[in-house]
């Protein structure tokens, strides 16, 4: 008898868990699955934007212990240190993990020090603790407003940020929150981004939406502002401009969370892969999904799509079949504003340009954007659906539940987006 193939997944984020649970969905007990992660927990990071406005951080954490046990998936609590492709072995702090197939989904991290002064003076919204710090500064600003003192928030997107969307959500949510609490007149909101268009990666329609929102909400917006230095109370830009702040909020530059010397990577440590399969270039048995891979946009929905492609290609090889799922880059998001939300479905295409390898396919009829209070309901449903699926050891894109969810999104998109 042929022994079961050993499939190891490194990392418990969107790309890693989607790959893992998709493999279980496709292979059942025909493979031995192992998850290697520093904690048996999953953080639903997109919804941590609600923490500054009162939601408890633990609300967005899922304990994976039960779903992993239920699905007979072995869990190793350890940090990954090294991959030896020749021996098909992963070195961890708790010993080696041997594999027949490997999925690398160790994610990204922030490197604030690339921008002088950013680490010292900005709230860099990446972790729940960072979101709690922002909550404290919002409370501070409201206290000042009650005493007739003005406070200026500056939201900043620096170079090498790979996903600016949540920062747009936060500034729009803050505006709505302050209007509701009656403090908006004493708080100035400003936004400066290195992008040439707002949410540049997702095309001209979102730029129009954000431009209109900023104008209607009296939010000062600056495009093409490349930060060079952060000082106490002041940010300097490449164009010679200076902007002041009392509270600075930023997403820092991205780099790979773990750099693997034996794998091909770009200059920021992201693993180079084949576009369709997410197979690591030059390594037949290794795949990379999510933020660890070199796709230039880092976003949860894109990580899920990559996880599906990885899982399908590995499962097809195990079963001796042809893969049926390729990674077709399509971004989908619902941008929260607290009083309404913006839905975006954005087909992306490869350009062949090393400087701008991805562009929005504006001619694709799938390109849709819509703004409505009803889209807040869509965001709520998505925020319940994914944790429910992962909490039961199931992939996001599979089975009857996903078919129902997909149908609902298509109906809403047809009615509420264009």
Q: Rounded mean pLDDT of the chain?
A: 95
Q: What is the DSSP string of 57-75?
A: GGGGEEE-HHHHHHTT-EE
191 and 329 housed in the same domain: no
Q: Is residue 1 domain-resident?
A: no
Q: Are 314 and 9 in contact (CB under 8 A)?
A: no
Same domain, 205 and 228: yes
The CA-atom distances, in angstroms, between 119 and each of 11, 124, 151 are: 26, 8, 21
* CA–CA dist 360, 127 (Å, integer): 29
Residue 399: pLDDT over 80: no
* Same domain (yes/no): 284, 380: yes
Which tokens sit at 239?
């164009």
The number of distinct structural domains making up the chain is: 2
Shared domain check, 249 and 296:
no
Beta-carbon contacts of residue 43 (< 8 Å; ≥ 6 apart):
13, 60, 61, 62, 128
* Whether residue 224 is found in the same domain as residue 300: no
Query: Can you give the pLDDT at residue 1?
Result: 38
**Which of 222, 237, 253 is the endpoint of a domain?**
253
Three-class secondary structure of residue 99 per DSSP: coil
Domain ends where: 198, 232, 253? Answer: 253
Quick one: what percent of the chain has pLDDT higher than 70? 100
Q: Residue 244 maps to which CATH number? A: 3.50.50.60
Is pLDDT above 70 for 171?
yes
Last residue of a domain, one of 214, 234, 253: 253
- Pair (249, 262) in one structural domain: no
Asked if residue 342 belongs to a domain, the reply is yes
pTM score, whole prediction: 0.95
> 153 and 117 in one domain?
yes
Shared domain check, 12 and 93: yes
pLDDT digits (tens, 9 = 90+) for 296-349: 999 999 999 999 999 999 999 999 999 999 999 999 999 999 999 999 999 999
Shared domain check, 350 and 229: no
In a domain, 406, yes or no: yes
Domain that holds residue 396: 6-107+257-416
Q: Strands (DSSP E) along 283-415, which ranges? A: 286-288, 330-336, 341-350, 358-360, 368-372
- Domain assignment present for 150: yes
Looking at the fold, whether 156 and 95 belong to one and the same domain comes out as no
3 state SS of 89:
strand
Does 196 lie in the same domain as 127? yes
């Amino acid at each position: 008898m042929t022994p079961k193939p050993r499939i190891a997944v490194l990392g418990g984020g969107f790309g890693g868990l989607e790959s893992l649970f998709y493999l279980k969905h496709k292979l059942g007990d025909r493979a031995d699955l192992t998850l290697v992660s520093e904690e048996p927990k999953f953080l639903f990071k997109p919804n941590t934007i609600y923490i500054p406005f009162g939601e408890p951080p633990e609300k967005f954490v899922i304990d994976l212990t039960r779903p992993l046990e239920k699905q007979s998936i072995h869990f190793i609590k350890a940090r990954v240190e090294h991959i030896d492709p020749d021996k098909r072995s992963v070195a961890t702090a708790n010993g080696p993990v041997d594999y027949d197939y490997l999925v690398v989904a160790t994610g990204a991290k922030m490197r604030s020090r690339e921008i002088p002064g950013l680490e010292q003076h900005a709230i860099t919204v990446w972790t729940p603790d960072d979101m709690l710090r922002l909550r404290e500064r919002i409370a501070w600003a409201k206290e000042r407003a009650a005493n007739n003192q003005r406070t200026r928030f500056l939201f900043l997107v620096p170079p090498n940020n790979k996903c600016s969307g949540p920062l747009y959500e936060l500034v729009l949510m803050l505006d709505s929150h302050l209007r509701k609490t009656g403090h908006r007149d004493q708080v100035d909101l400003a936004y400066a981004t290195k992008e040439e268009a707002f949410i540049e990666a997702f095309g001209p329609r979102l730029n129009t939406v954000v431009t209109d929102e900023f104008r209607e909400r009296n939010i000062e917006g600056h495009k093409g502002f490349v930060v060079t230095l952060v000082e106490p109370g002041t940010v300097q830009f490449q164009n010679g401009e200076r902007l002041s702040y009392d509270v600075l909020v930023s997403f820092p530059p991205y780099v790979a969370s773990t750099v693997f010397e034996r794998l091909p990577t770009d200059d920021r440590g992201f693993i180079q892969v084949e576009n369709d399969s997410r197979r690591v270039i030059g390594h037949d048995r290794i795949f990379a999904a999510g933020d660890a891979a070199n796709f230039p946009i880092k976003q949860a929905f894109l990580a899920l799509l990559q996880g599906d492609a990885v899982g399908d290609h590995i499962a097809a090889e195990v079963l001796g079949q042809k893969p049926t799922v390729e990674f077709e880059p399509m971004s989908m998001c619902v941008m929260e504003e607290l009083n309404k939300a913006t839905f975006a479905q954005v087909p992306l295409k490869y350009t062949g340009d090393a400087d701008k390898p991805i562009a929005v396919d504006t001619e694709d009829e799938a390109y849709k954007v819509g703004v409505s209070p009803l889209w807040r309901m869509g965001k709520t449903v998505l925020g319940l659906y994914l944790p429910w699926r992962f909490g039961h050891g199931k992939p996001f894109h599979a089975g009857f539940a996903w078919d129902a969810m997909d149908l609902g999104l298509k109906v809403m998109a047809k009615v509420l987006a264009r």
